[in-house]
């Protein structure tokens, strides 16, 4: 650590990386139970002086929708959502996501909640960022048991969206849609390439020298802690209290 680098938490590093992946867009939507993507989306909005629009599902205050649950999907179908986040019980090297079950579908050995909107949003949201904080051979597998949402599609299938990256607690991968493969972009500080290889169930591309994920700048940390955290506490009180020591205002 150089003298101008402040200490930071893992969640802050991941949120800063995701905020950079979001880029300059108009509308970011974040699903339920996604505090780190929500932090990143609010950080992007703070940096952009109110742009992009951020829709945090499950928070009436942070969604503008007035046409029921379908409005999010109608918005996405028209190309009005630029970025979305997906996780998965299993994710494989072709970017396939499994949110349903492990083993034979008719006689599963493990069952997850279900596909939610993934089987649709993965096709129509241009930048889908995959997010999995447990980076292990159990979660990043050679082939998923059940495809809730496929990483790629046949040429004649209309598809404007798909995965652009996979971020884990250990590293950042980008996704090459043409080759349908992940490429290791950087390894987070405190983690190693050997560790990433040992804990990943699929093969991936890697540059000759793998960079270390850049740490969040002092300004990024300040924005997250002073501006984003109090807003986040409205939606994710437990997360905001744990990571930013911010309590929901009465």
Partner 1 sequence: MPVIARSLDDALAPIVDGCVLAIPRESTGVAMAATRALIRRGVKRLKLVALPTTSLQADLLVGAGCVESIETSAVSLGEFGPAPRFTAAILKGAIRMKDATCPALHAAFQASEKGVPFMPLRGLIGSDVLKHRADWKVMDNPFDENDPIVLLPAIKPDVTLFHAPMADRNGNVWIGRQRELVTMAHASERTVVTVENLYDGDLLADRTLAAGTLPGFYVEQVAVVERGGWPLPLPEHYAWDGEHLAEYARLATTEDGFKKYLDKYVYERQAA
Q: Which residues bind partner 1 (CB under 8 A)?
A: 32-33, 58, 60, 66-70, 73, 76-77, 99-101, 105-124, 146-150, 153-154, 156-158, 238
Nearest approach, Cβ of residue 164 and partner 1 (Å): 17
Nearest approach, Cβ of residue 153 and partner 1 (Å): 5
Measured from the CB atom, is 119 or 186 closer to partner 1?
119
Q: Which of 63, 178, 81 lies closest to 124 in space, CA to CA? A: 81
Nearest approach, Cβ of residue 107 and partner 1 (Å): 7
Q: Are 29 and 3 in contact (CB under 8 A)?
A: no
Nearest approach, Cβ of residue 52 and partner 1 (Å): 22
Provide the CA 164 distance to its chain's centre, in angstroms: 10
**Which residues neighbour 58 within 8 Å (Cβ) at sequence distance 6 or greater?**
32, 33, 235
Measured from the CB atom, is 126 or 189 closer to partner 1?
126
d(CA 179, CA 122): 17
Measured from the CB atom, is 155 or 219 closer to partner 1?
155
Measured from the CB atom, is 6 or 33 closer to partner 1?
33
- CA separation (Å) from 42 to 51, 77, 133, 154? 10, 23, 19, 35
Measured from the CB atom, is 109 or 250 closer to partner 1?
109
Query: Tokens 């598809």 label which residue?
Result: 159
Nearest approach, Cβ of residue 113 and partner 1 (Å): 4
Nearest approach, Cβ of residue 206 and partner 1 (Å): 27
Q: Are 229 and 240 in contact (CB under 8 A)?
A: yes
Question: Is 31 exposed, middle or buried (CB count within 10 Å of its CB: 0-12, 13-18, 19+)?
Answer: buried
141: left (phi over 0), alpha (psi -120 to 50) or beta: beta
Measured from the CB atom, is 93 or 216 closer to partner 1?
93
């Amino acid at each position: 650590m150089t003298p101008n680098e402040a200490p930071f938490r893992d969640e802050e590093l991941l949120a800063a990386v995701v905020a950079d992946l979001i880029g300059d867009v108009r509308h970011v939507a974040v699903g339920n139970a996604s505090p780190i993507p929500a932090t990143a989306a609010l950080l992007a909005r703070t940096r952009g002086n109110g742009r992009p629009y951020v829709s945090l599902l499950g928070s009436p205050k942070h969604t503008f929708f007035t046409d029921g649950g379908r409005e999010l999907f109608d918005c996405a179908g028209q190309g009005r959502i630029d970025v979305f986040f997906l996780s998965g019980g299993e994710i494989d090297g072709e970017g396939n996501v499994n949110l349903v079950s492990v083993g034979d579908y008719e006689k599963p050995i493990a069952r997850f909640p279900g596909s939610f909107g993934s089987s649709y949003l993965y096709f129509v949201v241009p930048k889908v960022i995959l997010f999995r904080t447990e980076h292990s051979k159990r979660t990043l597998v050679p082939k998923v048991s059940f495809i809730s949402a496929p990483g790629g599609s046949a040429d004649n299938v209309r598809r404007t969206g798909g995965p652009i990256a996979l971020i884990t607690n250990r590293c950042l991968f980008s996704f090459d849609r043409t080759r349908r493969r992940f490429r290791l972009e950087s390894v987070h500080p405190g983690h190693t390439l050997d560790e990433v290889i040992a804990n990943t169930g699929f093969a991936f591309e890697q540059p000759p020298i793998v960079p270390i994920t850049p740490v969040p700048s002092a300004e990024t940390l300040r924005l997250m802690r002073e501006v984003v955290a109090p807003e986040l506490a409205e939606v994710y009180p437990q997360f905001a209290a744990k990571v930013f020591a911010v309590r929901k205002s009465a």
